[in-house]
Amino acid sequence: MIHKMTVPAQPLAWAVVLQGGDKCVRRIGGAVDSLPFGIIPAYYCQDQNRMIVVGADGKLFDKSSARWTVQTIDEPEAVKAGSAYKLPPRESVVTAYFAD
């Protein structure tokens, strides 16, 4: 049964679906290459190169507009380019899955 619930102030969904259809699941440990700008991986996406990261601003989910947004990166490109990597625009989240 699916029902609406109250979202905590600092939501940690176990999975999200992005505007473009990518499905991403919460990262739980494991090694990862060093990423530029001090960004931290938070979700691995269905497309093996993409991940959702906690941005340099410390935000995972930006909830300031009608749709939450997240910062995604192409991991191999980010690792290769280092500080020359250009962060893409934040992406909209269309679905967030929470356990209750």
pLDDT of residue 11: 62
Q: What does the buried/exposed string (b/e) look like for 52-84 if buried means 16 or more CB atoms within 10 Å of the residue's CB?
A: bbbbeeeebbbeeeeebbbbbbebeebeeeeee
DSSP 82: G
**CA distance readout (Å), 38 to 47, 56, 82:** 22, 6, 11
Residue 9 pLDDT greater than 80, yes or no = no
In this predicted structure, what is the pLDDT of residue 43? 95
Burial class for 86, CB neighbours closer than 10 Å (0-12, 13-18, 19+): exposed
Q: Provide the mean pLDDT of the chain.
A: 88
pLDDT in tens, 40-78: 999 999 877 999 999 777 789 988 888 999 999 999 999
26 bridge partner residues: 43
The pTM of the full predicted model, rounded to 2 decimals, is 0.83
Split at pLDDT 50, 70, 90, the class of 14 is: very high
81 three-state secondary structure: helix
- The ranges assigned to domains in the chain are 30-97
